[in-house]
Amino acid sequence: MGTRQTFIVPLADAYDYPAELLGNKARNLSLCIKEGFHVPAGFSISSEGYQAYTRYNNLQQRIDLELYRKPFNSMRWEEIWDVALRIRSFFSKGIMPAALEKEIMSYVSRWPSGTKFAVRSSTAAEDSAAASFAGMHESYLNITSDKLIETVKLVWASLWSDRSLLYREEKKLDSRYSAMPVLVQAMEPSTISGLAFSADPSSGQEDVIILEVISGSLDLLVDNIEEPERIKLAKDSGRIFNTAGERKATLMAKNALETLWLKILALEKIFGQPVDIEWTGIEEAFTVLQVRPITGLNSKDDDERTWYLSLTPDKNSLLALTEKVEKDLIPKLIEEVKLFGSEEAFSNDNCLFLDRLEKRGQSYNRWKKIYHDDFIPFAHGIRNFATYYNDLIKPDDPYEFIVLLKTDNLLAQERNKHLKRLGQMLYENRNLQDRVSHFLTGQDRPNSKIFLEEIKTETSEGAIFAAAFEQLLTEQMDLYYENVSLADDPSSLLQAVLALAEGSLKGDEQPKDLSVYKKLKETYLEKAGHKHQNEALNWLRIGRLSWKLRDDDNILLGKLENQLYLYLKEALFRLLKAGLLKDMPEQVTLDNWPVVLESLQKQLEYSPPVPEAPVQEEKTKALKPRQLVGHPSSRGIVTGKARVIHSVADFKNVVAGEILVFDAVQPQITFIIPLAAGIVERRGGMLVHSSIIARELKIPAVNGVSRATELIETGDLLTLNGDLGLVVIGEPEFELEQAGLQLK
């Protein structure tokens, strides 16, 4: 081999090495040491160490296969999270090359046993003047030497976290050539810690210094556990500004504040621009933990990124959110759904009707916002739990954690059980089954409501069935979904019930296997150990709640939307009757409720918005997909005819045993899944609703197939490979070649 690689560099020497090798965090601190500042002693594991590890475990090729199987921009965040989860699993299960491990551990042995370390990322891209990467990569504190190697692997893996992948994409940095040096430093005791900015990062003002101070160690501040004291200093004099809302400094003595002020000035001078400093100390003895140029002065991060970051909240904000969602929001939502449902039929009193329409509209707006602000971030609790679980257990299957999350009381499951009972009724009564079958296959079938009335009067079994079916419609199918109310079209539901009776439906979603659940939970708590028992239980609680919520909220909101839908439809009828509307529009657009309300209130003419026609690519026989790539979301291989589902109206044409092709499947419509021999979905992710059910029912599924509903046509012969995530269209044939030969 060529020249010897540099794996380990003492922190004091790091400044003499290029940023590509040791990263900016280490170099900046090394410069501080050279300039006489106190910095906790430590060493760097170079990017060559990272490369040795990834080479030894073939990680670059594995990452390549995972990350680039689809163009990055065509992946949803959920798919990106999945990719990151798998990559993290590769890293934590990899083997550290013996030479590298020996070098790291022999350096660590310079400290007395029992020393705790901080293990932090230090890449060439982060902490540079161009991009901060603040909070993107992982850092771990208080790590004992026996856990050091495992921790270094996790810091390396965070180079490929969903957050840093998205950040690099946004900054147009090429992930392919990334490598991660790591900084290891001995922890030091501290009584006071904080952040310092030698310019105001929010206003861009450069003649002030902003301090955030807490008592204790810095992680309490960085993890938002403790609210810091904020102090603003004049840069030239070090005097405190006593502006409104700024408290006086109480945590720092005057002398200490002055020492800190001078050190900040000195650091800004050394780096030649405003800096952002993490510091800690005991009284007046200050230690520099990190220095970096302040990036993006005078520029604001856009809201979308802030929102995305809130999707991976830290444990404390998640706990608070859990309380809020469980104890406040969901009960309120259920109450509101109940209240609206209990209100009698549309009032003839126009004022009362308008009032109720408005209430439903406002409720819709309010819950839509809560969904975005609270429910979606809370649903990410699953991911936090998954990470915690995988770090603890290191399972072979990175989705093993799902076993611990499943509950038997999802609203969608209740509905599916109800459907199953109806299927059982038909199965046990052949005559009734034939009657339903005849109705559904009949050419000029009457309205299904009339049909139900008919069978009610025919036999007592018919009456029981019809009543139970109507109960399903009013109690569980009062859902708005994609411009229709599911209760509006009972025949597709009847179709599903009939298929159940004919035995073509797969069984129930399997009830939770209690013994597997118990065993996994025991192992989980055992691994967490006595000390972390509460932490482990808390994560489990968050995970389970968010699992239930991400299903139920769609159903509950669907019910709420249904209320608005029914009122809007009635309002449109009233406008039509009053001659203020030409024709009933094909679609009822919920977001348009304020305009409808106003038209009816003021008796104004109303013209509904014209729905945008979907842009359809010109179909061509010259170019056809032969094999499409997605994610393997439920194992198994199956061949069958494709049924492309463009809207709920397509449900009634579904024949059991077809491969259903969806754009996206929400919990409102998962009852159709058991009819399918296989599922293809454009929306990708291992945790999307259809895939979870498909895995339970052992139906092969591939999701994340870009433009699936456009590229596949109903009737196409599909072969689904749920092991590799492939959809093959058509048979391998040489018909064209044979025909071509005859022509020549």
Partner 1 sequence: MKNHYDEPDFVDVVPGSAGNTRGQIETEIRELCLEQPFAVLATQGEGQPYTNLISYAFSADLRHLVFSTPSQTRKYNLITKNKKISLLIDNRAQQPESINLIRAVTITGLARPLADPEEIDQWAGLLIKRHSYLDKFIKSPSSSLILVDIIRIFYVRRFQEVYQWVPGKPS
Closer CB to partner 1, 71 or 272, in the complex: 71
Give min distance, CB of 366 to partner 1, in A. 14
Closer CB to partner 1, 530 or 619, in the complex: 619
Give min distance, CB of 479 to partner 1, in A. 12
- Reported as half-sphere exposure (CB side, CA atoms, 13 A), residue 239 has a value of 5
Give min distance, CB of 625 to partner 1, in A. 5
H or E element at residue 597? helix 593-602
Give min distance, CB of 668 to partner 1, in A. 9
Which residues of this protein are in contact with partner 1, per CB under 8 A?
61, 64-65, 68-77, 166, 176, 304, 307-308, 368, 371-372, 376, 482, 554, 557, 617-629, 645-648, 662-664, 666, 683, 706-707, 711, 724, 726, 734, 736-737, 740-741, 744
Distance in angstroms (rounded) separating the CA atoms of residues 610 and 533: 57
Closer CB to partner 1, 199 or 686, in the complex: 686
Give min distance, CB of 619 to partner 1, in A. 8
Tally of CB atoms within 10 A around 161: 21
Closer CB to partner 1, 586 or 617, in the complex: 617
- Reported as half-sphere exposure (CB side, CA atoms, 13 A), residue 150 has a value of 12
Closer CB to partner 1, 284 or 650, in the complex: 650
Closer CB to partner 1, 369 or 518, in the complex: 369
Give min distance, CB of 558 to partner 1, in A. 10
Closer CB to partner 1, 529 or 730, in the complex: 730
CA 277 to chain centre: 32
Write down how long the chain is: 744
Which residue carries 């998205």 as its tokens? 166
Closer CB to partner 1, 508 or 710, in the complex: 710
User: Which of 674, 316, 292, 341 is CA-nearest to residue 479?
Assistant: 341
Cβ atoms of residues 211 and 260 within 8 Å: yes
Give min distance, CB of 270 to partner 1, in A. 38
Closer CB to partner 1, 154 or 376, in the complex: 376
Give min distance, CB of 162 to partner 1, in A. 10
Sign of the Cα torsion 232, 235, 240, 245 reads negative
Closer CB to partner 1, 579 or 614, in the complex: 614
Cβ atoms of residues 455 and 435 within 8 Å: yes
Give min distance, CB of 664 to partner 1, in A. 6
Cβ atoms of residues 163 and 58 within 8 Å: no
Residue 59 burial class via C-beta count within 10 angstroms: exposed 0-12, middle 13-18, buried 19 and up: buried
Closer CB to partner 1, 325 or 498, in the complex: 325
Closer CB to partner 1, 610 or 736, in the complex: 736
Closer CB to partner 1, 196 or 645, in the complex: 645
Give min distance, CB of 73 to partner 1, in A. 4
Q: Give phi and psi for 412, each to the nearest 5.
A: -65, -35
Cβ atoms of residues 182 and 96 within 8 Å: no
Distance in angstroms (rounded) separating the CA atoms of residues 170 and 130: 13
CB under 8 Å to 515, separation ≥6 — which residues? none
Closer CB to partner 1, 176 or 438, in the complex: 176
What is residue 644's three-state secondary structure? strand
Give min distance, CB of 707 to partner 1, in A. 6
- Reported as half-sphere exposure (CB side, CA atoms, 13 A), residue 287 has a value of 19
Give min distance, CB of 391 to partner 1, in A. 25
H or E element at residue 201? none
- Strand duo 275-282 + 116-121: pairing: unpaired
Give min distance, CB of 738 to partner 1, in A. 10
Distance in angstroms (rounded) separating the CA atoms of residues 597 and 594: 5
- Strand duo 182-186 + 42-45: pairing: antiparallel
Give min distance, CB of 80 to partner 1, in A. 8
Cβ atoms of residues 404 and 544 within 8 Å: yes
Amino acid letter for position 397: D
Rg over CA atoms, the chain: 31
Cβ atoms of residues 158 and 129 within 8 Å: no
Cβ atoms of residues 44 and 26 within 8 Å: yes
Closer CB to partner 1, 540 or 628, in the complex: 628
Q: Inter-axis angle of helices 148-157 and 47-56, to 10 degrees?
A: 90
Closer CB to partner 1, 312 or 433, in the complex: 312
- Reported as half-sphere exposure (CB side, CA atoms, 13 A), residue 660 has a value of 30
Distance in angstroms (rounded) separating the CA atoms of residues 262 and 268: 10
What is residue 293's three-state secondary structure? strand
Give min distance, CB of 562 to partner 1, in A. 14
Give min distance, CB of 491 to partner 1, in A. 19
Amino acid letter for position 40: P
Distance in angstroms (rounded) separating the CA atoms of residues 600 and 437: 43
Distance in angstroms (rounded) separating the CA atoms of residues 509 and 551: 14
Which residue carries 């071509």 as its tokens? 740
